[in-house]
Amino acid sequence: MSNLDTEIRKYLLVVDYEADAERKRAEYLLDNWEGGNIEKIQGMTRLASGVDIEELYDDLAAKIPEQRISTYEVNEISTKATRTELSISHSFEETNPERVEWAMETILNKRKAVKQGSRDGTEIWGVYSKKGRAEISYHIISKNRQVELQISIEGFGDAAEFLKKFIQEELQYMID
């Protein structure tokens, strides 16, 4: 896509959210975006389909001054956020598996992680950070006198890398 295309094209972003915190995160990001021009739509906005747009426009213009009405043709585009998957594998010698479990629970609590459910018997925790959101899961495997911790982090933007560094630093502080 050329620079000319991105300067001419306008995109309508529709963000559906479940909680006010999600709305605030999206609003903050859009209000502070530096690549291009993002403006709030003033007035009333409706997405119309299956209508005679000329007839609808004429009826609106009869009730509202025409210079205050804008119409756009909107085509949904297929977009997909880039998901980053990272892992941490750490072995602890002469460490009690309960201590590793405690450390992981403490780290998740520090990040205010919320249990999202489970996949293949593994609990998945949702975490929001200043870099974005991610999902964290982990396994603790105890063999003889060694404990293996395997952590999976899946996120968007820089969230996965940010959380990986955070977890590694916390583990080093708590256990090593």
In CATH, what number is assigned to the domain containing residue 95?
3.30.530.50
- Which of 141, 16, 31 is CA-nearest to residue 90? 141
Contact criterion met (CB below 8 Å) for 145 and 98: no
Provide the pLDDT confidence category of residue 5 given band limits of 50, 70 and 90: low
- Residues 59 and 107 reside in one and the same domain: no
Helix (H) or strand (E) holding 78: none
Tokens of residue 107, six digits: 């780290």
Contact criterion met (CB below 8 Å) for 124 and 113: no
- Residues 140 and 87 reside in one and the same domain: yes
pLDDT of 136-174, one tens digit each? 999 999 988 899 999 999 998 899 999 999 999 999 888
- Residues 103 and 169 reside in one and the same domain: yes
Residue 104 has what pLDDT?
Answer: 95
- Residues 63 and 121 reside in one and the same domain: no
- Residues 41 and 102 reside in one and the same domain: no
- Cα dist. 139→58, 90, 114, 122, 161 in Å? 63, 11, 17, 8, 19
Structural domain harbouring 133: 83-174
Q: Looking at the domain assignment, is residue 162 inside a domain? A: yes
- Residues 131 and 89 reside in one and the same domain: yes
Q: What is the pTM of this model?
A: 0.69
Residue 126 has what pLDDT?
Answer: 94
Residue 101 has what pLDDT?
Answer: 93
If one counts the domains in the chain, the total is 2
d(CA 64, CA 36): 31
Q: Looking at the domain assignment, is residue 52 inside a domain? A: yes
86 pLDDT more than 60 = yes
- Residues 63 and 90 reside in one and the same domain: no
Tokens of residue 32, six digits: 């502070």
Output b/e per residue, 91-123; b: 16+ Cβ within 10 A: ebeebeeeebeebbeebbeebebeeeeeeeeee
pLDDT of 34-82, one tens digit each? 888 888 888 888 889 999 999 999 999 999 999 989 898 888 888 888 8
- Residues 53 and 112 reside in one and the same domain: no
Helix or strand or coil: residue 117?
A: strand
Contact criterion met (CB below 8 Å) for 137 and 155: no
- Residues 89 and 40 reside in one and the same domain: no
**Average pLDDT value over all residues in the chain:** 88
